[in-house]
Amino acid sequence: MDQIRTGELIRRLRMEMKLTQKELAEKLSVSDKAVSKWESGKGCPDISLLYGLAEIFGTDINVLLSGELEKNESEKGNMKKLRFYICRKCGNIITSTSEAAVTCCGSRLTAEEPRKADENDALVLEDIGGEWAVSSSHPMTKEHYISFVAYVRDSAAMIYKMYPEWDLQFIMPMYRSGRLLWFCTEHGLLYRDIKP
């Protein structure tokens, strides 16, 4: 932890919340002199206070430790670049339009890298009068199954949750173009670009 950078960040976040040093100190049950020390870079918060600070500021402990807020300026929320964070312990699906710090079940998650599906892995799409009927012969056992299918286009995303031991089949609206993604518990995130 860089005391100076962390102190500057604490000061910046405190001022954005329009809190005085005394008000922040009261929330943490410390003295306002302690807060002043942190902000001037002459000391740093005890590790036991980091969770409380992160909660007050609505941030992550890692942000406080690094002393900087990272902004994802280049992405600007582009849905076509939607990232999928999948917890392999509980099956939780978390999405973000840019890089994010995501944890689940006590583990830090990294965004899954989609790879183009080959003929054997591809989902079957059938035009049924303005809608897509989506199906697959992929195994759907408790150990090996597709846990979700997502359709992403420039301004929207739809996620269809799948369950082991159920057939993979559903109907979705047909749009001009987009990307169909699915997550296999053994092979990871796959995709297919579709155009009606």
Tell me the pLDDT tens digit for each residue of 11-32. 999 999 999 999 999 999 999 9
Q: What percent of the chain has pLDDT over 90?
A: 51
**Could you tell me where the DSSP H helices lie in the chain?**
3-16, 21-28, 32-40, 47-57, 61-66
Tell me the pLDDT tens digit for each residue of 109-123. 999 999 999 887 889
Domains and CATH numbers, the chain: 3-66 (1.10.260.40), 79-194 (2.60.40.730)
What mean pLDDT, rounded, does the chain reach?
Answer: 88
Which pLDDT value is given to residue 72? Answer: 46
- How many angstroms separate the CA atoms of 5 and 66, rounded? 8
How many CA atoms within 13 Å lie on the side-chain side of 184?
18
pTM over 0.75: no
pLDDT at 71 over 80: no
Which pLDDT value is given to residue 70? Answer: 62
- Of the listed ranges 32-46, 70-84, 131-145, the least confidently predicted one is 70-84
